[in-house]
């Protein structure tokens, strides 16, 4: 994707600017009020370069806002600036944990399901909708690559049963796809049954990524886009909520049986 190349370019530029300023990672981190290990992780792509860090780096390096501008220019490439750091974290992840109460997670969507979801936004042109679809499908390669991350998803049961006559085939195909993906050794899909009516996950969807350095970051989606979360206390809260949601969901085998029942009910 263009966003991948542009994100690599931003990180490379950060490293060149740091070296040109005569700063090693430890000294640069000290001036940023970040650790040297985080600076290293950002330059290697295992941690996101977000806007606050870019802003501080511009101040320390005296770039006149160059790095901030590069992140903002990502919007012109079809990726909003908040999403680029998450793409970095997602690609570098060794583990992914996802809870989605209203939709099938993007990484698990079939092309037909993704197209139906994207087309719900009637402000998009045909070309914009197809671009978003292509980007979403490209992201899914992270799950099936060699040495892909361990991916665990929890999906509410009503998400699998929400359909009408127009989308019965789309949903049948989608749930069959979930069953097939759940058979992969690095993947697990769990269903949160409708009988669990109240739980902490109802406040909204989130996805967590663990990088090669062992640290976690999270992505929270909302109506205007989303936000990448890497503050230690906030990530700890989300990890606790993940464990709570996961404990309410059905085990892997029971989840598969429920999904098979859903498919059979539409056949």
Confidence of residue 71 (pLDDT cuts 50, 70, 90): confident
Greater pLDDT, 131 or 243: 243
pLDDT at 262: 92
- The owner of tokens 């859903």 is 262
Greater pLDDT, 216 or 89: 216
Q: Where in the chain is the domain with CATH 3.30.870.10?
A: 93-107+139-266
How far, in Å, CA of 218 to CA of 205, rounded? 11
Residue percentage of the chain with pLDDT more than 70:
92
User: Within 10 Å of residue 175's Cβ, how many Cβ atoms?
Assistant: 26
Confidence of residue 117 (pLDDT cuts 50, 70, 90): very high
pLDDT tens, position by position, 143-159:
988 888 999 999 999 99
Residue percentage of the chain with pLDDT more than 90:
47
How far, in Å, CA of 58 to CA of 134, rounded? 33
Q: Class of 93-107+139-266 per CATH?
A: alpha beta
What is the chain's mean pLDDT, rounded? 86
Angle at 22 between CA 17 and CA 28, to 5 degrees: 70
As a dihedral over the C-alpha atoms of residue 257, residue 239, residue 243, residue 89, rounded to 10 degrees, the angle is: 20
Poorest-confidence range of 121-130, 144-153, 180-189?
121-130
Poorest-confidence range of 51-60, 126-135, 157-166?
126-135
Greater pLDDT, 83 or 36: 36
Q: Where in the chain is the domain with CATH 1.10.260.40?
A: 2-77
pLDDT tens, position by position, 196-247:
888 877 788 999 999 988 999 999 887 766 788 888 899 999 999 999 999 9
pLDDT at 195: 87
Contacts for 34 with CB less than 8 Å, ≥ 6 apart = 53, 56
CATH 1.10.260.40 fits 2-77, yes or no: yes
HEC-encoded secondary structure of 111-173: HHHHHHHHCCCCCCCHHHHHHHHHHHHHHCHHHHCCCCCEEEEEEEHHHHHCCCHHHHHHHHH
Instruction: Quote the pTM value.
Output: 0.70
Residue 164 pLDDT > 80: no
Greater pLDDT, 79 or 194: 194
How far, in Å, CA of 129 to CA of 119, rounded? 7
Confidence of residue 41 (pLDDT cuts 50, 70, 90): confident
Q: Under a CB-based contact definition with an 8 Å cutoff, are residues 247 and 104 in contact?
A: no
What number is the average pLDDT over the span 187-193? 95
Poorest-confidence range of 14-23, 37-46, 119-128, 255-264?
119-128
pLDDT tens, position by position, 3-36:
556 677 788 889 888 998 999 999 999 999 989 8
Q: Under a CB-based contact definition with an 8 Å cutoff, are residues 31 and 41 in contact?
A: no
């Amino acid at each position: 994707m263009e966003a991948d190349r542009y994100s690599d370019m931003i990180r490379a530029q950060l490293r060149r600017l740091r070296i040109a300023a005569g700063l090693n990672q430890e000294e640069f981190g000290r001036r940023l009020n970040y650790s040297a290990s985080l600076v290293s992780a950002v330059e290697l792509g295992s941690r996101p370069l977000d806007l606050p860090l870019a802003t501080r780096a511009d101040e320390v390096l005296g770039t006149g806002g160059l790095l901030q501008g590069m992140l903002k220019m990502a919007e012109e490439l079809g990726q909003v600036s908040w999403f680029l750091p998450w793409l970095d974290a997602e690609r570098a992840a060794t583990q992914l944990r996802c809870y989605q109460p209203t939709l099938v997670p993007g990484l698990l969507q079939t092309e037909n399901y993704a197209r139906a979801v994207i087309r719900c936004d009637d402000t998009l042109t045909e070309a914009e909708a197809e671009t978003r679809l292509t980007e979403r499908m490209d992201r899914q390669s992270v799950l099936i690559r060699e040495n892909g991350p361990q991916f665990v998803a929890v999906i509410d049961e009503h998400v699998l049963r929400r359909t009408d006559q127009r989308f019965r085939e789309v949903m049948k195909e989608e749930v069959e796809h979930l069953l097939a993906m759940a058979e992969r050794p690095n993947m697990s899909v769990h269903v949160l049954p409708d009988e669990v009516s109240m739980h902490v996950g109802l406040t909204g969807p989130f996805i967590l990524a663990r990088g090669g350095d062992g640290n976690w970051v999270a992505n929270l989606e909302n109506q205007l886009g989303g936000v990448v979360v890497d503050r230690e206390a906030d990530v700890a809260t989300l990890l606790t909520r993940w464990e709570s949601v996961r404990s309410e969901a059905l085990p892997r085998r029971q989840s598969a049986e429920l999904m098979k029942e859903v498919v059979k009910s539409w056949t």
